[in-house]
Amino acid sequence: MLIPLPAPNAGLLVVGGAHVIFISTTVAGGSGVQQKVFDLALTPSMLLGEGVSCTSPSSALSPRCFSVIDSGRVLVGDSSRGIFLVSVSPTSPTPLSVTFLGALPTPSVLNYLDSGYVFAGSTQGDSTLIRLKPDAPYLETVTVLPSLGPIVDLTVMDGTGGAGGGSSQVVTASGVGRDGSIRIVRAGIGLTEFARLDMPGLRGLWTLPVTSSRVLLLQSFAGSTRVVALEGEDLEELSLGDTLGDPSLDSSPPFHTLAAGEVGNGLFAIVCSDGMRIFSEGVCKCWWSPPPGLVGGGNSNTRITLGAVGPGVSLLAFAGGTIVQLSVDSLTGGVTVVESRDMGCEVSCL
């Protein structure tokens, strides 16, 4: 990231993953422009604050945006931690320094307003108005501007007998990466958010059919699947094996759910990379995995990459470009292969 600085510290500030470099430019009479280069190697102690989680290596900065306060101070937004202050003072014993100010939703833009107030706009989570303070903690949150977007996935809960008091509620998987969360909104004249639960890394969200008053949500993450019960704003994680009627799931390696949905007559299907599971009211009806020879065209890869589930028919896409149509018996939950076709290229969506 290249940041021009005004006088008196006129020069160019270069912010990278492992170094911060300042190139000072001064005009020395008739001798022309003189340059001095100051290089600061970043260390984990500069970049990590107490209690801050990050998804990138601790010794690497991921600059995303900046805002110049004055010729000696620059705010830098980082994609995995929050906000940093880079101080420039070429004539002092410490010409460059980096201070971690605090964690924020991943900023897309920083705008220093005045008197220590900074607007941090985010396209991955909530935007915030903050105030800088001279001593730790350096950030004070003044206002939070909540945002449901980007919505990665959503589901509609039937509130009858449950937390919604008979009205439907929309549950969204909002945000990206560490800014991921579950938002619960009520539909009426407009949408009103009345609950928020932070869920970093959430990829997919489905409502499970149940007979009790509680709402069960199936959550898909990059490397795991969870089931939680929702009552009002209270969230309780349940045993995946007990909920899906297969106790072996609790001791098996975690899996990422690609697709899920009702397939008719109270049956619910869950698709993962190695097959499809059919269950009803806590009983596993069928576990279907691709039989040998199903994927043709010289492609022996039976890893499922995409799924689309619906009443009567389901579609699965395999690595290499094969699409398979399945039929689910609404009485027994048995799965039958209807047709398969090699598309000749990778399938990107169903």
Q: What is the tens place of the pLDDT at every residue in 38-80?
A: 888 887 777 765 444 444 444 578 888 999 998 889 999 988 7
What is the C-alpha separation between 53 and 46, in angstroms, rounded? Answer: 14
pTM tops 0.85: no
Per-residue b or e along 193-231, where b marks 16 or more CB atoms closer than 10 Å to that residue's CB: eebebebebbbbbbbbeeeeebbbbbbbbeeebbbbbbe
The pLDDT value recorded for residue 163 is 47
Burial of 269 (0-12, 13-18, 19+ CB in 10 A): buried
Q: What is the mean pLDDT of residues 139-146?
A: 90
Residue 118's pLDDT band (cuts 50, 70, 90): very high
Q: What is the mean pLDDT of residues 207-232?
A: 77
Kindly give, in sequence order, each residue whose CB lies less than 8 Å from that of residue 311, ignoring residues fewer than 6 positions away.
Answer: 262, 263, 264, 330
What is the C-alpha separation between 284 and 275, in angstroms, rounded? Answer: 14
Which tens digit of pLDDT belongs to each residue from 291-343?
877 776 555 667 899 998 888 788 999 988 889 999 888 788 888 888 888 88
Among 122-126, 212-216, 295-299, 301-305, name the one with the lowest average pLDDT.
295-299
For the record, the structure tokens of 104 come out as 């924020």
Q: What is the mean pLDDT of residues 112-135?
A: 90
The pLDDT value recorded for residue 121 is 92
What is the C-alpha separation between 315 and 306, in angstroms, rounded? Answer: 8
The pLDDT value recorded for residue 76 is 92
Residue 173's pLDDT band (cuts 50, 70, 90): confident
Distance of CA 249 to the CA centre of its chain: 25
The pLDDT value recorded for residue 191 is 55
Q: How many of the other CB atoms lie within 10 Å of CB of 161?
A: 12
For the chain, what is the mean pLDDT? 80
CATH among 1.10.287, 3.10.450, 2.40.10, 2.60.200 for 258-350: 2.40.10
The pLDDT value recorded for residue 53 is 44
Q: Where in the chain is the domain with CATH 2.130.10.10?
A: 2-145
The pLDDT value recorded for residue 300 is 60
Q: Where in the chain is the domain with CATH 2.40.10?
A: 258-350
Closest CA to 259 of 309, 304, 225, 216: 309
Q: Which residue has the higher pLDDT, 159 or 240?
A: 240
Which tens digit of pLDDT belongs to each residue from 154-170?
888 765 544 445 567 78
- For residues 326 and 308, the answer to whether their CB atoms sit within 8 Å is no
Q: Which residue has the higher pLDDT, 33 or 71?
A: 71
State which fold the 2-145 domain adopts: Methylamine Dehydrogenase; Chain H (2.130.10)
On the question of pLDDT at 256 being above 70, the answer is yes
What is the C-alpha separation between 258 and 294, in angstroms, rounded? Answer: 20
- For residues 302 and 296, the answer to whether their CB atoms sit within 8 Å is no
The pLDDT value recorded for residue 30 is 52
Q: What is the mean pLDDT of residues 20-39?
A: 73
- For residues 162 and 213, the answer to whether their CB atoms sit within 8 Å is yes
Tokens 């107030």, residue located? 117
- For residues 265 and 278, the answer to whether their CB atoms sit within 8 Å is no
On the question of pLDDT at 10 being above 50, the answer is yes
SS3 244: helix
Q: Position 213: which residue type?
A: S
Q: Report the percent of the chain where pLDDT is more than 70.
A: 84
